[in-house]
């Protein structure tokens, strides 16, 4: 497939060009705001994020589509007014095929052609599972998306195994089947660089060479981190757990510990030659800016992650 798209008389690089290019990408994830106060904070933060010139920004999709409209609005706003390339998360749990087709059609009408295809996780605040939709697996959603238009599709990777998987070799097989249909993958967060590189070796042994972006997080809440780790399958190293617990009484120190851990991991990954860094920002602009500043040496002078 031709990785160039035509806009007027100017040829513009696509995400896939960036991910296979000589410089690492830099991307991040945002949550659609749920309150007027959160919306105001995000509106203030967006210009700072634009200044980081991210390759793309992914926008989450609440459990069972609970943020469907807010996700759509934020994606379209970023695409049409902010000059940021958004990837809209879309999950198939609790959705009919007709609903999914309509969501995709709305994105196409708005000129949005980048999707992160997910099965969907239950909400952090609940122990109840999400009801199944008509599509049971993210790989089926990828097929649907690709059949609905010229979409670029990313999928999720679980380097330490999907938490619902009982067999790691079978989990790897299913992931490779899914990635083979998609364009690239973004990993769930993890805390050891070896976790990523060992996973990549396993995927490459299956003759899959599509880009896999490592996802990192700067944890600032012990309870939220534990819950998200349970959902994603990530293992929290005891040293990091102890450091976070030791700083838990002071929010400033806790954030510093989390950011420093993320920076250390990002640098180790970039030194190992990863195609880019994807930051699970938790909508924390300050942390994201600190991480990007700390790894700027990996982006040659005069270039950046979106150049």
Q: What is the pTM of this model?
A: 0.91
67 vs 113, higher pLDDT = 113
Indicate the pLDDT class of residue 11, thresholds 50, 70 and 90: very low
What's the CA gap between 55 and 307, in Å, rounded?
Answer: 8
Residue 195 has pLDDT above 80, yes or no: yes
Two tokens, residue 35: 């309150």
Average pLDDT over residues 36-41: 88
Identify the structural domains of the chain with CATH numbers, from first to last: 4-298 (3.20.20.220)
> Which of 29, 170, 194, 268 is an active site residue?
29
Two tokens, residue 217: 């997080």
Closest to 303 (Cα-Cα) out of 83, 84, 55? 55
29 is catalytic: yes
Segment 290-299, tens digit of pLDDT: 999 999 999 8
CB 58 within 8 A of CB 116: yes
What's the CA gap between 174 and 86, in Å, rounded?
Answer: 27
51: Cβ–Cβ under 8 A, 6 or more apart, which residues? none
First CA to last CA distance, the chain: 21
Segment 119-172, tens digit of pLDDT: 976 655 556 566 678 999 999 999 999 999 999 999 999 999 988 778 889 999
């Amino acid at each position: 497939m031709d990785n160039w798209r035509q806009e007027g008389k100017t040829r513009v690089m696509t995400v896939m060009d960036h991910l296979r290019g000589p410089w690492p990408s830099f991307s991040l994830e945002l949550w659609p705001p749920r309150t007027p106060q959160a919306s105001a904070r995000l509106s203030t933060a967006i210009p700072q994020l634009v200044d980081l010139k991210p390759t793309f920004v992914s926008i989450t999709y609440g459990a069972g589509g609970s943020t469907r409209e807010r996700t759509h609005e934020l994606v379209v706003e970023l695409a049409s007014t902010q000059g940021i390339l958004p990837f809209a998360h879309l999950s198939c749990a609790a959705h009919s095929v007709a609903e999914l087709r309509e969501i995709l059609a709305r994105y196409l009408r708005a000129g949005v052609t980048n999707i992160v295809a997910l099965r969907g996780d239950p909400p952090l605040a609940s122990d109840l599972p999400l009801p199944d939709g008509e599509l049971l697996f993210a790989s089926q959603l990828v097929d649907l998306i690709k059949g609905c238009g010229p979409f670029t599709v990313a999928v999720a990777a679980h380097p330490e195994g999907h938490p619902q998987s009982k067999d790691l070799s079978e989990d790897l097989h299913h992931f490779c089947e899914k990635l083979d249909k998609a364009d690239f993958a973004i990993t769930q967060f993890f805390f050891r660089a070896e976790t990523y590189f060992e996973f990549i070796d396993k995927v490459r042994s299956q003759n899959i060479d599509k880009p896999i972006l490592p996802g990192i997080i700067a944890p600032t809440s012990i309870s939220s981190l534990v819950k998200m780790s349970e959902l994603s399958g990530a293992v929290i190293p005891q040293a990091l757990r102890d450091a976070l617990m030791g700083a838990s009484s002071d929010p400033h120190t806790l954030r510093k510990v989390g950011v420093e851990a993320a920076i250390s991991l990002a640098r180790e990954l970039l030194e190992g030659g990863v195609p880019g860094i994807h930051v699970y920002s938790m909508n924390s602009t300050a942390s994201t800016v600190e991480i990007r500043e700390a790894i700027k040496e990996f982006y040659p002078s005069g270039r950046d992650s979106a150049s």
